[in-house]
Amino acid sequence: MSSHGSSAPAMMNPAQMEAVQHLHSPCLVLAGAGSGKTRVITHKIARLLQPGPGADLAPAEIAAITFTNKAAAEMRERAKSLIGAKASGKLLICTFHSLGVKLLREDGEALGLKPQFSILDADDVTSILRDAGGTTDVKQARHWQWTISLWKNQGLDSSQALSQAKSDDEQVAARVMKLYEERLAAYQAVDFDDLIGMPLKLLTEHEHVRKKWQKQLRHVLVDEYQDTNATQYELLKLLVGQDGIFTAVGDDDQSIYGWRGATLDNLKKLPQDFPNLRVIPLEQNYRSTSAILRAANNVIATNPKLFQKTLWSDLGEGDPVKLLECDNEEHEAERAVAHFVTHRMNLLEKHPGDPSKTAWSNFAILYRANHQARPFEQALRRANIPYKVSGGQSFFDKAEIKDLCGWLRLLVNNDDDPAFLRAATTPKRGIGHQTLGTLGEFAGKWKVSLFEALFTESLAATLSARALGSLHEFGRYVNDLEHRARHTFGGEDAKLLLLEWLKDISYEQHLYDGEENEKVAAARWNNVLDFVDWIARRCGGEIENDGGMTIETEKKSVIDVAQSISLITSLAERNADQNVVTLSTLHASKGLEWPHVVLAGINEGSLPFSREEGDITPQQIEEERRLMYVGITRARLTLVISALKRRKKGREYVQAPPSRFIAEMKLGEGGPKEDPREKLRRLREELAAKAKANAQSQTQTH
DNA sequence: AGCTTTCAACTTTTT
DNA sequence: GTTGAAAGCT
């Protein structure tokens, strides 16, 4: 069961309504877990399309920005069911990064960027850094990558990074960053951080571009605002302009991405930067029982509060939160699975013939770190219970798909050197290390891309006739393929072209050659064929059945589709909604919900995570506590917290103290005393009082 | 010395 | 399930 399984109320509550109707000034919606924030965003979009002061916008004048493609797709889906396919199709609903791509493709030339620049993924960046930093050590390169990314997220360039570098390590990283910047500029390539940083630079330095976008985007809505980093906030400010109007939706208590640059400063600064900001807390939760919410509120109450907010629900007290103490990891897995089995049997008795209540997809096990999934996988397999582990390798991370993406990127942008290297050597075609080394040197000397260097006259002097022949043959083939890809439109023709290409480069053979196990090779080839189908589908042209209507989609060329690939990282619909138990990290569980949840391994050292004792700052503890809060609020009906007594360490078992967060939940305190009817009346009164208070204070910031 | 084998440890993750 | 380090083998 995924993100919008909660029983949504027929009517919006007063706070939601206020958030939707507030149109004349910037608005911060503090959306507690399960408080219906997507509903608020989509209804606000619908409101903005209607006539009235502050509204009456065209769909293209509204931007809704999310963090993941998945969230964007869901948002579009919800918007579509509210305002129809026609209007929703024109809305700008996308991630920060795809918005960045849009800005750069349209106006990036002001920064000296070709419109068909390529976007590097993390692996490309690693290999460039290895090269630029003169090391073969992947770990070192990754370390630089991490450091550089954090700097970029703070809006620093290499010279600024160098001047504020504190250690020798950082100084070296800053120097490598300088080389890295030069490489990217030469390649006409950008990394993911640039997709925020460069649009920011573009809007800062070029007034006409800034004016253009500020004029076009009359209302910007930002989802998961607590996850924005410094550059994203700056970009938002530039997009909306001095007295711009926007709606930020977020929850300070669910900020769990500080380690990758997200900063709560953006929430703190909002009331200062926009004095007429209206803050609207959404505190009614439509997801969880009171017992679960009480535990969640108790835990998060230990953190210093940016904004006051206490979740409540009228879904009843529910089952008490249970605590499970286990000897070790295996025992914990056994008990958790046994708990699911017996619990499900009870449910089967209670709701015979209602599979929606008893499906395995109602159950989830959440933990801090990926490796904790293992014992649970084993236990579930032993019990013959189907499961899925979220956050596994994505389709686009598979080597065979990356190979093909490398080719496509090269077709889109001949100057994409990492793509060139990948394509030229996969499959092997007589272009080896030696040849590429020489070519690279040559290209570096003349400051041209590898592809450009390929066809220069003077290259012949430096290479053997055979090597040169292989290179030229490759170059000619790429040119030819590019030409064909540019002029092939629509799914059917695209598929033919792609299959022909795979045959030309003997890719299937390459897979079988590189893999001893035939089954594995066959699985890989299957992935390749899936990929071909997927591209073909995106080329459009076929008749699509859309809610009873048949429409012909616009035909795109293979090149058009290839251009957009690096931004799309999931074949979302592939294995959605299977009837299986979910195993997930707490991080990956944000935004999702299940009727029955086990939080596993809730011990000091795991949650809060620490390497050694006492090596953790108060800020880190606070973020870990928010992680616990996120975990608790995933559960709708029942919640089990499980802790270990002993943990395996080498051959020995060591004591594993339970997490401090367990005590903070204060289980057993403040149970149900009120008569349910009495309670309902109290809640109604509270609601009315709150609405009144909100109406009185124009701006409120705590 | 250089290779293989074994053993333990393992943050969180998107674009 | 994978990777890196340390011990063991030739």
pLDDT digits (tens, 9 = 90+) for A655-696: 888 999 999 998 877 766 666 667 777 788 888 887 887 777
Mean pLDDT of the region A290-319: 93
The set of strand B positions with any atom below 7 Å of a protein CB reads 7-15
Measure, in angstroms, how far nucleotide B4 C1' is from residue A528 CA: 35
Query: Which nt has its C1' nearest the CA of A567?
Result: B15
Place of tokens 């080597």: A399
- Residue A51 has a CB neighbour count (10 Å cut-off) of 7
Q: Which candidate, A276, A7, A208, A220, places its Cα nearest to that of A94?
A: A220
List the single protein residue with the shortest CA to C1' distance from C4: A139
- Residue A91 has a CB neighbour count (10 Å cut-off) of 24
Measure, in angstroms, how far nucleotide C8 C1' is from residue A352 CA: 61
Query: Which nt has its C1' nearest the CA of A146?
Result: B13
How much is the pTM?
Answer: 0.82
| Secondary structure (H, E, C), A234-258 | HHHHHHHCCCCCEEEEECHHHCCCH
- A378 CB less than 7 Å from any atom of strand B: no
CB distance A364 to A597 below 8 Å: yes
Measure, in angstroms, how far nucleotide C2 C1' is from residue A692 CA: 58
Q: What contacts A670, CB < 8 A, 6 or more positions away?
A: A294
CA distances from A261 to A123, A232, A320, A338, A551 (A): 20, 10, 37, 40, 43
Reported as a pLDDT band with limits 50, 70 and 90, residue A396 is: confident
CA distance A532 to A511: 16
CA distances from A157 to A126, A153, A162 (A): 18, 10, 9
Asked about A634 being catalytic, the answer comes back as yes
Mean pLDDT of the region A497-524: 80
CA distance A421 to A403: 10
Reported as a pLDDT band with limits 50, 70 and 90, residue A534 is: confident
Q: Which candidate, A649, A651, A653, places its Cα nearest to that of A612?
A: A649
Coil, strand or helix at A669: coil
Residue A270, pLDDT > 60, answer: yes
Over the stretch A448-466, which tens digit does the pLDDT of each residue have?
Answer: 888 888 888 777 777 788 8
pLDDT for residue A567: 67
pLDDT for residue A460: 76
- The tokens for A19 are 């958030």
- A229 CB less than 7 Å from any atom of strand B: no
Q: Which candidate, A256, A265, A198, places its Cα nearest to that of A230?
A: A265
Q: Which candidate, A367, A382, A372, A370, places its Cα nearest to that of A334?
A: A382
pLDDT above 70 as % of chain A:
91
Q: In CATH, what class is A396-567?
A: mainly alpha
Mean pLDDT of the region A534-551: 66
CB distance A630 to A33 below 8 Å: yes
CB distance A414 to A478 below 8 Å: yes
| Residue A551: DSSP 8-state | E
Residue extents of the structural domains in chain A:
14-105+196-286, 118-187, 293-394+576-671, 396-567
- A118-187 topology per CATH: Arc Repressor Mutant, subunit A (1.10.10)
What phi and psi, each to the nearest 5 degrees, are found at residue A460? -55, -35
Kindly name the residue from A16, A188, A247, A254 that is annotated as catalytic: A254
Measure, in angstroms, how far nucleotide B2 C1' is from residue A401 CA: 36
CA distance A278 to A20: 12
The interaxial angle of helices A518-538 and A491-504, nearest 10 deg, is 140
pLDDT for residue A625: 96
Query: Which nt has its C1' nearest the CA of A142?
Result: B13
List the single protein residue with the shortest CA to C1' distance from B10: A371
CB distance A540 to A491 below 8 Å: yes
Please compute Rg for chain A using Cα positions. 27
Asked about A516 being catalytic, the answer comes back as no
Query: Which nt has its C1' nearest the CA of A588?
Result: B13
Kindly name the residue from A16, A38, A426, A435 that is annotated as catalytic: A38
Q: Domain spanning A14-105+196-286: which superfamily? A: P-loop containing nucleotide triphosphate hydrolases (3.40.50.300)
> Do the domains spanning A118-187 and A293-394+576-671 agree at the CATH topology level?
no
Asked about A37 being catalytic, the answer comes back as yes
Largest CA distance in chain A: 92
CA distance A360 to A385: 8
CA dihedral sign of residues A348, A354, A359, A365: negative
- A388 CB less than 7 Å from any atom of strand C: no
Q: What contacts A79, CB < 8 A, 6 or more positions away?
A: A42, A45, A46, A64, A88, A91, A93
Write down how long chain A is. Answer: 702
The set of strand C positions with any atom below 7 Å of a protein CB reads 1, 4
- A519 CB less than 7 Å from any atom of strand C: no
CB distance A410 to A480 below 8 Å: no
CA distance A390 to A570: 12
Asked about A415 being catalytic, the answer comes back as no
Q: Which of residues 120-139 of A touch strand C (CB under 7 A)?
A: 138-139
Among A372-376, A609-613, A641-645, which stretch is predicted with the lowest mean pLDDT?
A: A609-613
Measure, in angstroms, how far nucleotide B12 C1' is from residue A267 CA: 22
Coil, strand or helix at A327: coil
CATH, domain A293-394+576-671, list 3.40.50.12780, 3.40.50.300, 3.90.1150.10, 1.20.140.10: 3.40.50.300
The interaxial angle of helices A465-486 and A491-504, nearest 10 deg, is 170
Mean pLDDT of the region A252-273: 92
pLDDT for residue A379: 92
Q: Rounded to the nearest 5 degrees, what angle is found at the Cα of A509, between the Cα atoms of A506 and A510?
A: 85
Asked about A613 being catalytic, the answer comes back as no
Q: Which candidate, A420, A392, A391, places its Cα nearest to that of A120?
A: A420
- The tokens for A509 are 């053979």
CA distance A308 to A306: 7
pLDDT for residue A4: 47
Measure, in angstroms, how far nucleotide B4 C1' is from residue A582 CA: 39
Q: Which candidate, A580, A578, A588, A585, places its Cα nearest to that of A363?
A: A580
CA distance A535 to A561: 7
CA distance A326 to A603: 11
Average pLDDT of the residues of chain A: 86
Residue A616, pLDDT > 50, answer: yes
Residue A266, pLDDT > 50, answer: yes
Kindly name the residue from A309, A556, A590, A634 that is annotated as catalytic: A634
Kindly name the residue from A16, A18, A37, A335 that is annotated as catalytic: A37
pLDDT for residue A8: 58
Kindly name the residue from A223, A234, A417, A482 that is annotated as catalytic: A223
pLDDT for residue A569: 53
Reported as a pLDDT band with limits 50, 70 and 90, residue A702 is: very low
pLDDT for residue A301: 94
Measure, in angstroms, how far nucleotide B9 C1' is from residue A647 CA: 13
CB distance A154 to A230 below 8 Å: yes
- A572 CB less than 7 Å from any atom of strand B: no
Q: What contacts A87, CB < 8 A, 6 or more positions away?
A: A49, A59
In what helix (H) or strand (E) does residue A332 lie, and over which residues does it extend?
A: helix A329-350
Reported as a pLDDT band with limits 50, 70 and 90, residue A323 is: very high
- A374 CB less than 7 Å from any atom of strand C: yes
pLDDT for residue A9: 60
- A523 CB less than 7 Å from any atom of strand C: no
Asked about A254 being catalytic, the answer comes back as yes
Place of tokens 């990558």: A145
Query: Which nt has its C1' nearest the CA of A97?
Result: B15
Mean pLDDT of the region A198-204: 94
Bridge partners (DSSP) of residue A644 are A326
- A371 CB less than 7 Å from any atom of strand C: yes
CA distance A158 to A179: 9
Over the stretch A66-103, which tens digit does the pLDDT of each residue have?
Answer: 998 889 989 999 999 999 988 899 999 999 999 999 99
